[in-house]
Structure 1
């Protein structure tokens, strides 16, 4: 009879919702999930209530021991060592693993990263890919090393970016397909059959998004403005400045058949609201004026007393 590959003791590190599908895949596998490392509870909402991360919440539901820390220092390293893991798995933890932690599992750590490495190494790979107008992205499972997202790659899977997809939609889809991809790599490592190859190509950096990234430059071409809007949706959320205040745009689409408008100018036709760029305007769908709740753009427009001549910056 063929020999059965041994099961591995796995420690997982991750924080946001996109890491949960991989946590679930590992919990459902034949391997033993011995612990989860995640960032500390963070204040959320208007009341700034301390809230566990999605990974912390799901790990607790799975009865998996949780280590909460924003920085992995000596105490956290020893806590992970006490779990005696064979392999570490990391997905969007939100912090760097230094050499002492990397050396704890006997097989090291592998990372699921949502890009076609070496393109878009860093914190916001899907967002930067959409903002740049990339038509393709994907996910990579690679050996974690101290240099940012630079390790040898076990598996690379490609996925198109739809012309109207937001970064949030792409990232959610990749979180599920990537979970299955990573689980296959874990099985191959357990069987001694995994092979990793050096990354090929010129690296690009996917820096963490800031609020400045979310401000739309309406003097750019419509395609570029729309790509940025999709790339920063749902977080941090696209906006323009109107009357000196932030005017959020939660949903819009590129209106290539509509009449041109000057950059930043608003217009309405047939119940639809448009915002001008250097080329094709955006059709606004859901907006949020400062101090108000999100609403349909048409409702916002109808409620204005004198909309003519408004210009967004």
Structure 2
């Protein structure tokens, strides 16, 4: 079957590679992706990860906006019979969806109908769910509401970050997508309408959302940090003196942490939310319940490092805390 692939970020690359390498069943005739965008400190235009992979694989790339005049004609000219979509990032109009005889199929990283939207993996971790998965559905006019073709589940590890889970789902989902497209090709696909009801929406997580709230139970702090890692990155404002309004403040990103081991004899007790404490090898910050241990951090303007190494060179005053 001739397939158009639509995607943009790293998470879509495993599916593109899987389909392009499965030459017995599929021919990826073109790749649709977002235009080059400014990245890095120099803000130089850079291709999307999907475009880079497509060029490496020798697949023609289309960067046109689906809303542009003439897009449907260009789409039909590829000869594609169906489209595989993974994190493309553009809403498709009905005339575009109708342009391919077998339709458009999206790989979404949640167990639909739960967590429709932009950040399903992050929101699942933040909410404390222990199961996640991937869903392939036919794209319709609604947001992630089309009939389901295939679905798979996986457990969320107790310390797994959104980035780690997304990497796993990207690889497993590539196999699920290929299987689903095969059923579409041979006419055995069973499309199951999503049940009606009130389900959680996976709204995009912003940098302000990633501001760590230490005045919360330790389990909630842990979920927030894991959900925001690596993007957009969990952070707090570090007050070097402990004062809420002081010039001695800087930003601290928390790259990795865990709920403190209650059996640790060095564990500080009565640590107020946000207050920092440390031993030779450990750094803790207080929460509403038990302390939270910082394992890896990135101080403002510096590289990531072990929290104990950071603490040794930070020269914090008594009472220093995360706001």
- Quickly name the TM-score band, shorter chain normalised: over 0.9
**Which range moved further: 25-34 or 159-168?**
25-34
**Is 2:169 aligned against 1:174?**
yes
**Is 2:37 aligned against 1:37?**
no
Shift of 1:202: 3.3
Q: Distance in 1 between matches of 2:138 and 2:233?
A: 33
Unaligned runs of 5+ in 1: 1-7
Q: Which among 4, 21, 29 is matched to residue 14 of structure 2?
A: 21
Asked if the contact 1:274–1:282 (Cα under 8 Å) also holds between the matched residues in 2, the reply is: yes
User: What's the counterpart of residue 255 of structure 1?
Assistant: 260
User: What's the counterpart of residue 4 of structure 1?
Assistant: none
Q: Distance in 2 between matches of 1:186 and 1:100?
A: 21
**Is 2:138 aligned against 1:143?**
yes
**Is 2:189 aligned against 1:189?**
no
Q: Which among 106, 126, 150 is matched to residue 155 of structure 1?
A: 150
**Is 2:314 aligned against 1:304?**
yes
Q: What RMSD in Å do the two structures reach over aligned CA positions?
A: 1.4
Q: Distance in 1 between matches of 2:159 and 2:7?
A: 28
Asked if the contact 2:65–2:71 (Cα under 8 Å) also holds between the matched residues in 1, the reply is: no
Q: Distance in 2 between matches of 1:51 and 1:104?
A: 30
Q: Which among 282, 291, 308 is matched to residue 292 of structure 2?
A: 282
Match of 2:314, SS state, is coil
Q: Distance in 2 between matches of 1:139 and 1:283?
A: 32
For residues 201-234 of structure 1, give each alpha carbon's deviation from its aligned partner in whole angstroms, at most 9, with x where no partner exists. Answer: 5322101111111111111110011001000100
For residues 122-161 of structure 1, give each alpha carbon's deviation from its aligned partner in whole angstroms, at most 9, with x where no partner exists. Answer: 0110011111111111000001011100001011111110
Q: TM-score, normalised by structure 2?
A: 0.91
Q: Distance in 1 between matches of 2:311 and 2:91?
A: 46
Relative to structure 1, the CA distance from residue 42 to residue 308 in structure 2 (aligned partners, 3 Å threshold; closer, same or farther) is: same
Shift of 1:247: 1.1
For residues 84-136 of structure 1, give each alpha carbon's deviation from its aligned partner in whole angstroms, at most 9, with x where no partner exists. Answer: 21101100001111111111110110100000001100011001111111111
Q: Distance in 2 between matches of 1:225 and 1:239?
A: 11
User: What's the counterpart of residue 243 of structure 2?
Assistant: none
Asked if the contact 1:15–1:94 (Cα under 8 Å) also holds between the matched residues in 2, the reply is: yes
Q: Distance in 1 between matches of 2:316 and 2:255?
A: 23
For residues 161-218 of structure 1, give each alpha carbon's deviation from its aligned partner in whole angstroms, at most 9, with x where no partner exists. Answer: 0110000000000001000011011111111000010113532210111111111111
Asked if the contact 2:3–2:82 (Cα under 8 Å) also holds between the matched residues in 1, the reply is: yes
**Which range moved further: 292-301 or 130-139?**
292-301
Q: Distance in 1 between matches of 2:295 and 2:41?
A: 25
Asked if the contact 1:9–1:86 (Cα under 8 Å) also holds between the matched residues in 2, the reply is: yes
Q: Distance in 1 between matches of 2:68 and 2:144?
A: 20
Q: Distance in 2 between matches of 1:163 and 1:306?
A: 32
Match of 1:104, SS state, is coil
Asked if the contact 1:35–1:66 (Cα under 8 Å) also holds between the matched residues in 2, the reply is: yes
Asked if the contact 2:268–2:277 (Cα under 8 Å) also holds between the matched residues in 1, the reply is: no
**Which range moved further: 167-176 or 247-256?**
247-256
User: What's the counterpart of residue 244 of structure 2?
Assistant: none
Asked if the contact 1:301–1:307 (Cα under 8 Å) also holds between the matched residues in 2, the reply is: no
Shift of 1:71: 5.4
Match of 1:274, SS state, is strand
